[in-house]
Amino acid sequence: MGSSYGGAFEMRALTGIFLDTSNIDEIRKYHELGIIRGVTTNPTILVKDGASGWSEVERRCKRIAQAVSPLPVSVEVTTNHPDEMLAQAKLFSSWADNINVKITVHGPEGGVENLRMIHELETNQNIRINVTAMMSAQQCLLAAMAGATYVSIFGGRVNNMGYDSRQEIRRLRQLLDSFNLPAKIIVGSTREVLNIIEWFEAGADIVTAVPSLIEVMLVHPYSKETVRMFLEDGRKLRANA
């Protein structure tokens, strides 16, 4: 399918909904509708969608990148060891020009090593990074200052902790704008359609959504009822022609 986006493409440029899946059939379906602006994956998604083994991960990610090119595709490292993260980031980014690399803001016990790796990859290796697993505006600000192309805050999990994710998104939007930082705000961990609309209203550049949520966004029971009425009345008009 040819691109309808035109011009010289940069992964920083597009905003909108990123499809949160590695199912190639679902990706093609929604890409052909022209309503997605990228794809996000992670190890959990890949396992759920049936990827088993490194060769299958590579094959699937290359197919996704080709299917949606030039839209961005996020592929997450599977390790927190610095040397292995560096090697995987270089490998993933070599699979396609539109692949960016997801790295968590810190390791399972915290620490600053991941931020150092993010800065190295963005500034010295010219690899676009999506910093993930963040729960606060302050984490996202530091990731953006380190040079991240995308900063991903998990809005659904923020809500689950008893906080209003919209407040954190608004705070982050103000901070990035005040510091003149170009990082795009991704809000993920989407639980319901209302999240998508509210997070965009709060200042998100991108919201990730699984295919089933996009289906619910599109199909409304009153729209179905109205379409049926129009078609039935259209049938009557044709019958009386």
So which residues are the catalytic ones?
102
Residue 182 CB neighbours (<10 A): 11
User: How far is 219 from 214, CA to CA, in rounded Å?
Assistant: 9
Asked if residues 68 and 98 have their Cβ atoms less than 8 Å apart, the reply is: yes
- Chain-centre distance of CA 87, in angstroms? 23
Residue 163: DSSP 8-state? S
**Residue 130 phi, psi dihedral angles, 5° rounding:** -110, 105
Asked if residues 175 and 142 have their Cβ atoms less than 8 Å apart, the reply is: no
Asked if residues 216 and 193 have their Cβ atoms less than 8 Å apart, the reply is: yes
Q: What is the CA radius of gyration of the chain?
A: 20
Asked if residues 40 and 16 have their Cβ atoms less than 8 Å apart, the reply is: no
- One-letter amino acid identity for 74? S
3 state SS of 72? coil
User: How far is 177 from 165, CA to CA, in rounded Å?
Assistant: 18
Residue 11: DSSP 8-state? T
